Amino acid sequence: MDEHEMSQPIVSLAGVTKAFGPFTALHDTNLQLNAGEFVTLLGPSGCGKTTTLRLIGGFEFATAGTISIEGRDVTALPPYRRPVNTVFQDYALFPHMTVEENVAYGLTVRGGAVSKQDRASRVRDALALVGLSAYGARLPGALSGGQRQRVAMARAIVKQPRVLLLDEPLSALDVKLRETMQIELKRLHRELGITFLMVTHDQNEALALSDRIVVMSQGRIVQVGAPTDLYDNPGSAYIADFIGASNLLDATFQSASDGVDVFRLGDGSLLRKARRGRETSAGLREGARVRLGIRPEHVHLAPVEGGNEIQARLAGSLFLGDRLRLELFPARSERPFFVDLHRNASSRRAPEAGETIKLYVGAEDVMCFAEPEQ
Domains belonging to the chain, first-starting first, are 3-237 (3.40.50.300), 238-369 (2.40.50.100)
The answer to whether 215 touches 39, Cβ cutoff 8 Å, is no
The span from the CA of 9 to the CA of 71, in Å, is 8
pLDDT tens by residue, the chain, 374 residues: 444 444 579 999 999 999 999 999 999 999 999 999 999 999 999 999 999 999 999 999 999 999 999 999 999 999 989 999 999 888 888 999 999 999 998 787 654 567 888 889 999 999 999 999 999 999 999 998 889 989 999 999 998 899 999 999 888 788 888 888 899 899 999 999 999 999 999 999 999 999 999 999 999 999 999 999 999 999 999 999 899 889 999 999 998 887 889 999 988 899 999 976 554 555 678 889 999 999 999 999 888 887 899 999 999 988 888 888 999 999 878 889 999 988 776 556 667 888 899 999 999 999 999 765 44
Residues 6+ apart with CB under 8 A from 132: 99, 147, 150, 151, 154
Q: Which residue, 247, 218, 264, is CA-closest to 25? A: 218
Cα-Cα-Cα-Cα dihedral sign, residues 9, 10, 14, 18: negative
For the whole model, what pTM was predicted? 0.88
DSSP 119-140: HHHHHHHHHHHTT-GGGTTS-G
CA distances from residue 297 to 90, 96, 326, 338 in whole angstroms, order as listed = 36, 50, 11, 9
Q: Which residue, 304, 342, 343, 310, is CA-closest to 329? A: 310
